[in-house]
């Protein structure tokens, strides 16, 4: 009888899981539900934990960064990482798994409700762990009652529930005790590590740094162009999120489609956009008393900006006519806005400008009239804006009076010439203009060391234009050569 009862329970759970894996929802609807759950958790946390605020911070700036940037990136990264773990151990369909996880995701909202009773009336302060000792203690004693690991009770119960649910799900799917145990242990590791993310993300450097805690403190709180801790931590979470998302797409789409996706992600257009941001970042006049890259974090801030530009390239591809990935456009837009805000508020405003330009080109009444010459202006304009955005990360809101506008001007002119040169075979006038625009890029950057690379780049462009058989091939080759030149301009022109 007991065996029959056990079988009946297992059958019921299997049917319940099947039902929660098979409901209909659009990709946009999925995103809306996910971010709604995230917002609700953040709102409850501010109201019921120790802040007792409408919002998660004492100021509006802090609340916007936490609720709009940091927490959303954190939830996305942990959610996607757990999806990879469950997919690897349960061997279930990824789309069905993500539907089930979205239903279970609402469990995160129980944490503030538990804490408001457990720590009444003061509430519990939710914060990261910042030392290796605290991280190790949390990993070892997270589920041990009575041991203070500097984590609120609600979160500890939340992780325990996820740990148990993970074990049960994998076991129901595989009937394998070892697989279930390994999956739940890995979930435990990721969940605890997310609470000590400043320590966890820098672990690769630990063997090479004698004073590891000092590295963490300097990286997230030392002098840098990166701003406050909230931005720096958000940037590091975003840098981890991007490869996790790529892995998810690889699992979902297969090798062939993933290869095509990477080609789009690293397309010539995207590379030009990313190289323009990098060039502006490196050429920007530095602030007095603060050198670029004196803090290791600055390299990751630059990497985050470059990744944001590459994702904007994906967005442009997704909204282009005839693209097969239009449904992903809202997600790309959200990622661009969140990641740019993590880098700096000025970069965020420039990204808003990029989307505004896209709207003019994409919707009536301007879409029909923006043809011919004006359609060719679009991508040079994107690149010029991103060059200014890269400079703003270093110089802030007051950069306009300091910037050498000859560089973005030449980038715009050169890309415009490339756009027209890719249309016509052996057009001497356009190719000559292209050659001289590249050669002039070096003096514009005030670095004669760039003169020879610029001349070589111009010559390579002429050769590439003459040897290319199709317009697309010609445009791609010219753009890649120019992107390389722009990167060199940023590196050698500093």
The per-residue pLDDT for 142 is 92
Q: Residue holding tokens 């090479």?
A: 208
Contact between 143 and 133 (Cβ < 8 Å): no
The string of pLDDT tens digits covering residues 413-424 is 888 888 887 777
Checking if the pLDDT of 409 tops 60, the result is: yes
The per-residue pLDDT for 221 is 93
The per-residue pLDDT for 196 is 94
The string of pLDDT tens digits covering residues 258-303 is 999 999 999 999 999 999 999 999 888 777 778 888 899 999 999 9
The per-residue pLDDT for 6 is 53
pLDDT classification of 326: cutoffs 50, 70, 90: low
CA gap 203, 206 in Å, rounded: 5
Checking if the pLDDT of 478 tops 60, the result is: yes
What Cα–Cα distance (Å) separates residue 471 from each residue in 423, 437, 462, 466, 483? 6, 21, 14, 11, 18
Mean pLDDT of 215-242: 93
The per-residue pLDDT for 1 is 45
The per-residue pLDDT for 399 is 58
CA gap 455, 460 in Å, rounded: 9
The per-residue pLDDT for 443 is 64
The string of pLDDT tens digits covering residues 103-151 is 999 999 999 889 888 888 777 888 899 999 999 999 999 999 889 899 9
Mean pLDDT of 227-254: 94
CA gap 489, 487 in Å, rounded: 5
The per-residue pLDDT for 286 is 77
Checking if the pLDDT of 96 tops 60, the result is: yes
CA gap 239, 155 in Å, rounded: 25
The string of pLDDT tens digits covering residues 4-51 is 555 555 577 777 788 888 888 988 999 999 999 999 999 988 888 777
**Which backbone phi and psi does 490 adopt, to 5 degrees?**
-70, -45
Least confident of 122-126, 228-232, 371-375, 443-447: 443-447
Share of the chain above pLDDT 90, in %: 48
Neighbours of 454 (CB within 10 A): 24
């Amino acid at each position: 009888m007991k065996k029959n009862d056990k079988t009946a329970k297992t059958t019921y759970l299997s049917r319940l899981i099947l039902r929660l894996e098979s409901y209909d929802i659009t990709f946009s609807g999925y995103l809306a539900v996910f971010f709604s759950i995230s917002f609700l958790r953040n709102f409850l946390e501010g109201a019921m934990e120790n802040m007792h605020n409408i919002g998660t911070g004492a100021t509006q700036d802090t609340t916007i960064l936490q609720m709009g940037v940091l927490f959303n990136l954190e939830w996305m990264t942990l959610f996607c990482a757990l999806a990879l773990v469950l997919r690897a151990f349960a061997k279930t369909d990824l789309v069905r798994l993500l539907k089930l996880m979205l239903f279970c995701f609402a469990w995160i909202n129980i944490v503030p409700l538990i804490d408001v009773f457990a720590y009444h009336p003061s509430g519990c302060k939710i914060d990261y762990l910042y030392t290796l000792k605290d991280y190790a203690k949390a990993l070892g004693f997270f589920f041990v009652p009575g041991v203070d690991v500097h984590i609120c009770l609600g979160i500890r119960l939340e992780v325990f529930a996820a740990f148990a649910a993970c074990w049960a799900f994998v076991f129901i799917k595989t009937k394998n005790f070892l697989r279930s145990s390994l999956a739940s242990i890995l979930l435990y590791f990721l969940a605890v590590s997310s609470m000590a993310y400043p320590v966890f993300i820098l672990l690769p450097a630990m063997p090479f740094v004698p004073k590891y805690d000092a590295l963490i403190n300097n990286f997230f709180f030392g002098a840098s162009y990166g701003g406050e801790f909230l931005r720096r931590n958000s940037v590091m979470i975003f840098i981890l999120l991007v490869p996790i998302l790529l892995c998810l797409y690889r699992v979902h789409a297969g090798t062939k489609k993933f290869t095509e996706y990477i080609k789009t992600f690293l397309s010539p257009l995207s590379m030009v956009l990313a190289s323009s941001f990098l060039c502006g970042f490196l050429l920007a006049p530095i602030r007095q008393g603060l050198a670029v890259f004196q803090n290791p974090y600055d390299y990751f801030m630059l990497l985050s900006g470059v990744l944001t530009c590459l994702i904007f390239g994906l967005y442009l591809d997704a909204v282009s006519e005839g693209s097969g990935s239009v449904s992903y456009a809202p997600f790309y837009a959200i990622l661009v806005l969140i990641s740019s805000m993590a880098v700096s508020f000025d970069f965020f405003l420039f990204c808003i400008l990029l989307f505004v330009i896209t709207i003019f080109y994409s919707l009536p009444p301007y879409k029909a009239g923006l043809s011919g010459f004006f359609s060719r202006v679009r991508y040079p304009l994107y690149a010029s804006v991103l060059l200014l955005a890269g400079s703003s990360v270093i110089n802030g809101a007051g950069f306009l009076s300091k910037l050498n506008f000859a560089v973005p001007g030449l980038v715009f002119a050169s890309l415009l010439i490339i756009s027209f040169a890719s249309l016509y075979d052996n057009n001497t006038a356009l190719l000559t203009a292209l050659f001289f625009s590249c050669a002039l890029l070096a003096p514009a950057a005030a670095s004669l060391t760039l003169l020879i690379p610029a001349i070589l780049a111009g010559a390579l462009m002429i050769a590439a234009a003459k040897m290319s058989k199709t317009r697309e091939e010609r445009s791609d080759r010219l753009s890649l050569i120019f992107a390389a030149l722009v990167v060199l301009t940023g590196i050698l022109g500093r």
